[in-house]
Structure 1
Amino acid sequence: MDWLLQAELFLLALATAGIVLGAIAWMERRQRRAPVSVFAEDTSATVFLFDGEAMIDSTPGARALLAAIPGQGSPWARLLTYLTPHFAELEARLLRLPLDGSLTLTSAPEKGNALMLQAELRGGLTRVVLTDPSHQVPSGGQDVMALRAMEEEINLLRDTAAKAPVLMWKERANGDVIWANQAYMLRASEVLAANQDLTWPLPRLFSEPVKRPGPAKPNEGKRHTLTLREGGEVWYEVSAHEERGEKMFFATPIDSLVTCETALRDFMITLTKTFAHLHVGLAIFDQHRQLVLFNPALMVLTGLPADFLTMRPSLLSVLDGMRDRNMIPEPKDYRSWRRQLMEMERAAASGLYEETWSLPGGQTYRVIGRPHPNGALALLIEDISSEMIRTRRFRADLEISQSVMDQLEEAIAVFSPGGQLVMSNEAYARLWGVDPAANLAEATLRSVSATWRDRCAPSPVWADLEDFAAQGGERSAWGADLRLLDGRMIAARFVPLAGGATMTGYRLSETASTSPKAIFMKDPGRKTA
């Protein structure tokens, strides 16, 4: 019995060990066969798994699709860039996904082969599945969705190159044209002779570039011109990019630009010829404050040579050159002078700069700065030395005339044709107790005669005087005796002057009539009051 019990126990232990070993082996085989990806149920589909906008897993086909999508950015952004043209309401439906839980979209028929998109939320993660109903099973080891994305991009590039108005072609190192777009082909057929056909390799349309007017700029294309078979000329700007021994060329039509430049150049020539006859120095600076236009008078007034001005100097260089030639008022401090120049530029740009320069050589310049469109600036320099001399001489003559009038004992007041007081002397201020010359702007015949009325006995003389001053044509001098309120008598005379002006003179009279009625001494043709 003992041995039977021991045999049963041995067999039981052996069976238990076998079961345990089998279970361990089965678990190891299952662990080895478990897929690494979370998409264990369908590894052949194009599936993405996102946590928000961060991709946490994807199938090999999904990774191939992302690699085929051009551009940069996160996987979520690149995927939306590819899907948005196929599904018009994609972004709005994805925003509602937390509420709907899932969605299914099919692309529009006009977008080509149908494309189906399925999205759902699983445990807070967004699962996106893309399928092409017309190609359910990949062929040739290639992912259908990635292949489809590459085909769509190729078709887009092909259509773009075919419909682009820009001429595009590729050349080998020896100059053979090995590829060209439709625009290049059409232009080549218009340039070749009537009896010449397009052959392979294609003919080169552009040879030597045309010299561009003005200074060259970096990264600027070269200009070429083509003469058409039917007559006429077209302009292009050609740029090239070299890669692996071959060059890709792009020719952009610039007929409108060349026409505008030609018109602008002709206009500048016309302006230059027009400004050449002006005596005012003209300098026009562009928005970068480089000289773009000047006339001969500027060279005469500034002393700057033509070769210096034709080098397109800056505004500060022009003013420095004038300073070196003593054609600018010399400042005490050169640093403050440069600050004044900068302030001058700002004032001229706002249209507020206008000054008179008294030069060391005795000349006097009027300098005006005016803004122009697009930030340009015009500087006008005019020699007003003769005008200033005449002004100083006229001012000196006026001072002499005033001094002479102040020496007269007769009270004198002169009025312009419009009745404005022009001048009066010291005798006038003593007689009437007021000096209207202190405020000539407000002194008129009407306001001054009001003062006379207040200081004299009533008389119709003042009304007649206003009529006399307002008359046109020839006039004759006349006079009258007036009585001041203090009883003194005044002999008044009213004399017409050249240009319609009127002079009034008043003198105290000891022999004047004591009658309160004023006695008028007039020409026979004037009525006596």
Structure 2
Amino acid sequence: MLELGLADWGLIAGVAILTAGLGVYWLAPRHFRPVASPLCGIGARDRVFLFDGPDLIDVSSGGQAFLNTDLADFDWSRLRDALMGTFPDFPKSPKDVQSHGNLTIPAKDRKVQGDLVCEWIDGIIRVHLPAPARPETQPQAVSKELETLRMAMGQAPYPVWHIGQDCKLDWGNGAYDDLRRKVGTNKPDDYGPMFPSISAKDAIGQKTRASALMENGGKKLWFDVTVVPQETGYLCYAVDINAVVDAEIAQRNFVQTLAKTFAQLSIGLAIFDRNRQLALFNPALIDLTALPADFLSARPNLLSFFDRLRDHRMMPEPKNYGSWRHQMADLVAAAADGRYQETWTLPSGAVYSVSGRPHPDGAVAFLFEDITAEITLTRRFRTDLEISQSMLDQMEDAIVVFAENGALCSSNHAYRKLWNVDPEASFVQMAILDATRTWQGQCQASPVLGEVRDFVETQENRAEWWGKIQLKTGLDLCCGVYPVSHGATMVVFSRNIPVDPPNGAPFPVPQIVDATDA
């Protein structure tokens, strides 16, 4: 057996160690091998996000600038919420990317350049957003902005122009040139001839109304001119207000027409605005209320107005002065709803009809009308009726009156007692047909009552006549029929029966007397 030397044993040990080292390196797990990071090699403007499942594990500087939020609890769902507006097809969960591998998602807005890319790399999901377009260079941006401003000013529908410190025209847009042609001026100093009533320096910082007269003495064109001071002069804007001016003229004419109409009214008118200040009144109000014109012209408030009416005894005396303010508040509330309508009997004996009506924009109007004559006439008429009725009630004969349409309009006490009926207590108005039924129910059969009914219902050949009827009690009555004014008919039942006519005319044809001969 060969004996090995010390050198040989050293060589064998070295080879064994080298072999073991190579074996360990070869058997080392794959994940310990160095792998390039997915974020390596990207630019500063690239927006890249790395996810391990739903959790964000890394993000590029461009992605951080895009999110601009705290990334401590940032996950897949929050990124999807941030991208849904631009990329509505972004995957709902990382599993969708894992199942499809790589996904390319187009943007909804065509102005966005590039597509969003989702990649599956050994269990890591890489989301890459297209880098935003580079901003234009400064000269390009200025040129584009200048072009936009020129287009906006040139196509503006209202005149815009610039004048220098010497008030000479430097520039005007298309609407200004059109206005120059309408007014017929081509002078360099266009600001003066077009709007002679204002000065550029005096109009600074305020809106000034000015007019320009069209060529050949035509219509006036009205504008609101605004002047803005500049380092090189003044920038002027003119807004067309012809429609506003026409509306103001129409309103002024309408108010003048109303004022003339109100001035001729016999009804007093007082209109209070939304603040309950007197805004309009007519001369009739002064005549009816005896309030001085200077007081009304001072625009008193509503409570002061009614206080002065009370002081002048031009309204009913309040029973309780302590509740006066509450009564006035209720009055105003009722007038605002259109519910106020009262008749005032003044201490002087005059009678006023006062009504309140709501008006637009919270205003309220009060109308005062002197109805003393009407009330006096009504009271006199009512008195005459009461006297006439009292006279009828004093007569022994039973009297009833029917109107032209056959309605029972009046009867006396004797009639109600004779026939045991009270027409005024009936729920419905009685007519000739109801009356004849009542008569027939208490009389022996007689054609006279039918003749009375026919006479009341006809308006031709009307002359007074009479006939005999007999009650079931055996009492004989004379039924007299008399035409009266306005087509009415008066029927009289009397115990005094006239003598039969000498010609022996058969009953019930009565003696006829022409009403025109009576």
- Shorter-chain TM-score tier: 0.5 to 0.7
Which deviates further from its counterpart, 234-243 or 455-464?
A: 234-243
In structure 2, runs of 5+ residues without a counterpart are 1-38, 51-58, 70-82, 98-103, 200-204, 501-505
Question: What's the secondary structure of 1:282's corresponding residue?
Answer: strand
In structure 1, runs of 5+ residues without a counterpart are 1-37, 50-55, 67-73, 75-89, 109-113, 211-218
The residue type paired with residue 510 of structure 2 is M
Q: Which of 213, 221, 228 is 1:227 aligned to?
A: 213
Question: What's the secondary structure of 2:474's corresponding residue?
Answer: coil
Distance verdict in 2 for CA 1:425–1:188, change over 3 Å = closer
Equivalent residue for 2:152?
160
Percent identity of equivalent pairs: 35
The residue type paired with residue 240 of structure 2 is P
Equivalent residue for 1:421?
408
Q: Which of 434, 445, 450 is 1:463 aligned to?
A: 450
Conserved 8 A contact 2:46-2:129: no
Equivalent residue for 2:113?
116
Once the two structures are superposed, what CA deviation does each residue of 1:352-409 show, in whole Å capped at 9, x if it has no partner?
A: 4322121222211112334455655443321100110111111111111122111111
In the TM superposition, 1:363-512 aligns within 5 A as 363-372=350-359, 377-439=364-426, 442-472=429-459, 475-509=462-496
Distance, in Å, in 2 between the alignment partners of 1:259 and 1:310 is: 28
Which deviates further from its counterpart, 158-167 or 260-269?
A: 158-167
The residue type paired with residue 521 of structure 1 is P
Count of equivalent residues? 433
In the TM superposition, 1:111-510 aligns within 5 A as 116=113, 118=115, 129=130, 131-132=132-133, 156-168=148-160, 176=167, 182=173, 185-186=176-177, 189-190=180-181, 194-197=185-188, 206=195, 208=197, 221-230=207-216, 231-239=218-226, 250-285=237-272, 291-310=278-297, 314-334=301-321, 336-372=323-359, 377-439=364-426, 442-472=429-459, 475-509=462-496
Distance, in Å, in 1 between the alignment partners of 2:109 and 2:346 is: 81
Question: What's the secondary structure of 2:318's corresponding residue?
Answer: coil
The residue type paired with residue 522 of structure 1 is Q
Shift of residue 523, structure 1, vs aligned partner: 0.7
Distance, in Å, in 1 between the alignment partners of 2:464 and 2:373 is: 38
Question: What's the secondary structure of 1:326's corresponding residue?
Answer: coil
Pair 1:97-2:116 in alignment: no
Distance, in Å, in 2 between the alignment partners of 1:504 and 1:430 is: 15
The residue type paired with residue 42 of structure 2 is E
Equivalent residue for 2:43?
42
Distance verdict in 2 for CA 1:392–1:192, change over 3 Å = closer
The residue type paired with residue 262 of structure 1 is I
Distance, in Å, in 1 between the alignment partners of 2:462 and 2:244 is: 70
Structure showing greater radius of gyration is: 2
Distance verdict in 2 for CA 1:241–1:493, change over 3 Å = farther
Shift of residue 206, structure 1, vs aligned partner: 4.3
Distance, in Å, in 2 between the alignment partners of 1:129 and 1:181 is: 45
Question: What's the secondary structure of 1:413's corresponding residue?
Answer: strand
Question: What's the secondary structure of 1:297's corresponding residue?
Answer: helix
Conserved 8 A contact 1:188-1:203: no
Distance verdict in 2 for CA 1:343–1:179, change over 3 Å = farther
Once the two structures are superposed, what CA deviation does each residue of 1:329-372 show, in whole Å capped at 9, x if it has no partner?
A: 23234564444444444444444432212122221111233445
Question: What's the secondary structure of 2:425's corresponding residue?
Answer: helix
Conserved 8 A contact 1:161-1:181: no
Distance verdict in 2 for CA 1:419–1:207, change over 3 Å = same
Calculate the aligned-residue CA RMSD, in Å: 4.8
Conserved 8 A contact 1:490-1:512: no
Distance verdict in 2 for CA 1:106–1:393, change over 3 Å = closer
Distance verdict in 2 for CA 1:119–1:377, change over 3 Å = farther
Pair 1:523-2:476 in alignment: no
Shift of residue 250, structure 1, vs aligned partner: 4.0
Shift of residue 301, structure 1, vs aligned partner: 1.6
Distance, in Å, in 2 between the alignment partners of 1:46 and 1:197 is: 59
Conserved 8 A contact 2:158-2:176: no
Shift of residue 471, structure 1, vs aligned partner: 2.9
Conserved 8 A contact 2:356-2:365: yes
Distance verdict in 2 for CA 1:204–1:47, change over 3 Å = farther
Shift of residue 189, structure 1, vs aligned partner: 2.6
Distance, in Å, in 2 between the alignment partners of 1:226 and 1:341 is: 52
Equivalent residue for 1:80?
none
Conserved 8 A contact 1:491-1:512: no
Distance verdict in 2 for CA 1:521–1:96, change over 3 Å = same
Conserved 8 A contact 2:442-2:471: yes
Conserved 8 A contact 2:87-2:106: no
The residue type paired with residue 266 of structure 1 is N
Distance verdict in 2 for CA 1:124–1:288, change over 3 Å = farther
Distance verdict in 2 for CA 1:518–1:207, change over 3 Å = same
Question: What's the secondary structure of 2:106's corresponding residue?
Answer: strand
Question: What's the secondary structure of 1:523's corresponding residue?
Answer: coil
Distance verdict in 2 for CA 1:157–1:342, change over 3 Å = farther
Conserved 8 A contact 2:185-2:193: no
Conserved 8 A contact 1:356-1:367: yes
Distance verdict in 2 for CA 1:207–1:324, change over 3 Å = farther
Once the two structures are superposed, what CA deviation does each residue of 1:51-79 show, in whole Å capped at 9, x if it has no partner?
A: xxxxx99859989xx9xxxxxxx9xxxxx
The residue type paired with residue 176 of structure 2 is M
Distance, in Å, in 1 between the alignment partners of 2:228 and 2:377 is: 69
Question: What's the secondary structure of 2:383's corresponding residue?
Answer: helix
